[in-house]
Amino acid sequence: KMAEKQEEPSNTQNGEPDNTEEGEEKKKKKLKREDLPPFEIVTGERLPAIFFKFQFRNVEYSSGRNKTFLCYVVETQGKESVTSRGYLEDEHAAAHAEMAFFNTILPKCESSLRYNITWYVSSSPCVTCADRITETLKKNKNLRLTIMVGRLFMWEEPEMQAALKNMKSAGCKLRIMKPQDFEYVWQNFVEQEEGEEAKAFVPWEDIQENFQYYEEKLAEIL
């Protein structure tokens, strides 16, 4: 079964081998969990490549991948169209990136505007976040949301399946990321090394099979 959001913090969760950082970083890591703020939203222009390569892999058994990275594109259509983009990650267990998006990036929807939102997320939302998405879409008819996910989270659970169906009936488009979608995220949301030519996206070996596997599962659920 998938153990995707397990609680124990693991130093390898961002794809970094242990013992890479010395000194300051080590001290920070030693802070007990309760010394940390309840949650902190890390937003940035682009996410580090090492996070992308680890967190977005569409593997079937995703141990250690217990963070959610959410890259978003918001097109606001009013007198003039405005597009904004960025990414969020959930730092601590108290708030998931999906919630953080509604609390900070889009705290209120102006009823006179239309919003087309696309998320590229490392895994599909948990039940609580799925319910929040459903509620938000029902309340805001001027909001269109498409969620592209790398993996399905706990899709075997009946409660999870019901939550995904509710999202769909509230108008949310849920899609599994294809190899081209991973490439899009790589080009638009991942930082490239300073001064180097932008590196081409290198698909991992089983990217296509895993996409097909999850696409079948999602089709069965919905």
> Which residues are annotated as catalytic?
98
Q: How far apart are CA 89 and CA 97, in angstroms?
A: 5
Query: Which residues are registered as beta bridge partners of 77?
Result: 81, 114
Q: What percent of the residues of the chain are helix, what percent strand, and what percent coil, each to the nearest 5? A: 35, 20, 45
The DSSP-derived string for 109-176 is --TTSEEEEEEEEEE---HHHHHHHHHHHHH-TTEEEEEEEEE-SSTTSHHHHHHHHHHHHTT-EEEE
Q: Please check whether residue 43 is in contact with residue 162, taking contact to mean a CB–CB distance below 8 angstroms.
A: no
Radius of gyration over every alpha carbon of the chain, rounded to an integer in angstroms = 18
The length of the chain in residues reads 222
Q: Are strands 173-176 and 114-123 parallel, antiparallel or unpaired?
A: unpaired
